[in-house]
Structure 1
């Protein structure tokens, strides 16, 4: 009887342990899918989890902007993406973000990794495709945001949009200086002549305009 009792207790223990492990395994798999990443569009949305994205396969997700903002996708200028579970992304992988305007290809925007688990990305939407604005079933094409798991080493920069923003800023400041100098230029043979204090005068005017107009500097970052 004692042996029989021990056998029953052992079977019950094994069965309970097996069920507990199965539940933990199922919970872990579900948790990985539901809490891998989230996004927020500042001033435009509440936090959005992975369930809002259409899952293409185990490594690719797509958010159809038509369901979110209709045709006004180009008014969405920023996106915050963040990891929700450190154990869902291997250290050598990255979550890459891509943008697609109607009829265009996907353009890399930025990425997050375990070392950089969140980022606010500037959304520089590519130009829409020329004549290919209708799909095969005559439905209008929509803008999309794609997210994919990729090798971190294969990505040249985690935030391409930020680099482009800096380049545009430098170009616009240079253009502003050039236009200012051009209005004071004189010609001496084959040379252009400008006043000696031209840079000081330009910088003073630049500062005064920035103080008067809060949107002046913002226009340089567009």
Structure 2
């Protein structure tokens, strides 16, 4: 009787573990299937993960040829969003990469649990020269790749935004330099400018911005 009870207990335990394991695997699969979605502003309805080709557990690819064909470079923005807070561990990020025909993948930005959605500027890399045909002569296409990665290993969550800030700073600096050239003198190897040059430049900058609404737009990137 004791042996019979032990055998029954063992069978029930194995069935319970198997059922729990299957439920866990099913839950993980369902989480992956509902991990994220994307929207191309003014271009698309929300697109779920099923539109992407899943390469493996942590990588997906969207073939832009099926979406817009050769006009991929006219797609300048993409909104990517997590669908819930259960699909991505807190130390992970969903990284986005861009690939033009014949080029490599270039990092674009990412979302995390702390930043569950983002509108990313799509700065497509240059196509790969004349290598626009694959080995079987089928035309290569642009792709958007999505990858689950360690958040700490990513250089930034929005590369395009940082580049915009850099270019904006350079444009403002160029405007200041051009203004200073009108007033500077040369003393040997030094440029000499009036002490109030920055105040004069900033005042002129503000006045021009008030008079001409398009002036500040010229700094838009």
Distance 1:136 1:198, change over 3 A: same
Distance in structure 1 (CA, Å) of the matches to 2:18 and 2:134? 54
CA distance in 1, matches of 2:148, 2:197: 52
Give 1:188 deviation, angstroms: 4.1
Bigger mean CA deviation after superposition, 203-212 or 125-134: 203-212
Residue in 1 aligned with 2:16? 13
* Whole-Å separation in 2 of the counterparts to 1:71 and 1:33: 30
Q: 1:111 to 1:16 in 2, by over 3 A?
A: closer
Q: TM-score, normalised to structure 1's length?
A: 0.76
Distance 2:83 2:192 in 1: 60
The Cα of 1:62 is off from its aligned counterpart by 0.9
What's the offset of the Cα at 1:59?
Answer: 1.3
Structure 1 residues 185 and 44: alpha-carbon distance in aligned structure 2, compared to 1, 3 A threshold: farther
| Alignment check: 8 A CA contact 1:169 1:220 kept | yes
Q: Structure 1 residue 126: deviation in Å? A: 1.9
8 Å CA contact 1:107–1:126 kept in 2: the answer is yes
1:15-63 CA distances to partner (integer Å, 9 max, x unpaired)?
9999xxxx98898566434421011122222211112212212211111
Listed as ranges, the gaps of 5+ residues in structure 2 are 1-9
Q: CA RMSD in A?
A: 4.1
Quote the offset at 1:68 in angstroms.
2.2
What corresponds to 1:47 in structure 2? Answer: 46
Cα 1:208–1:52, aligned 2, differ >3 Å: closer, same or farther?
farther
Structure 1: 4+ residue segments shifted above 6 A: 7-18, 23-27
Q: Matches of 2:211 and 2:205 in 1, distance apart?
A: 10
CA-to-aligned-CA distance 1:92-142 (integer Å, 9 cap, x gap):
221111111222111111111222211222222222222222222223322
Whole-Å separation in 2 of the counterparts to 1:45 and 1:143: 17
Which secondary structure state, in structure 1, belongs to the residue aligned with residue 61 of structure 2?
strand
Q: TM-score, normalised by structure 2?
A: 0.77
Q: CA deviation at 1:212?
A: 5.1
- 192 and 30 in structure 1: CA distance in 2 versus 1, 3 angstrom threshold: closer
Unaligned runs of 5+ in 1: 1-6
- After superposition, the Cα gap between the structure-2 partners of 1:157 and 1:200, relative to the gap in structure 1 and judged at 3 Å, is same
Per the alignment, in what secondary structure is the counterpart of residue 67 of structure 2? helix
How many pairs are equivalent? 212
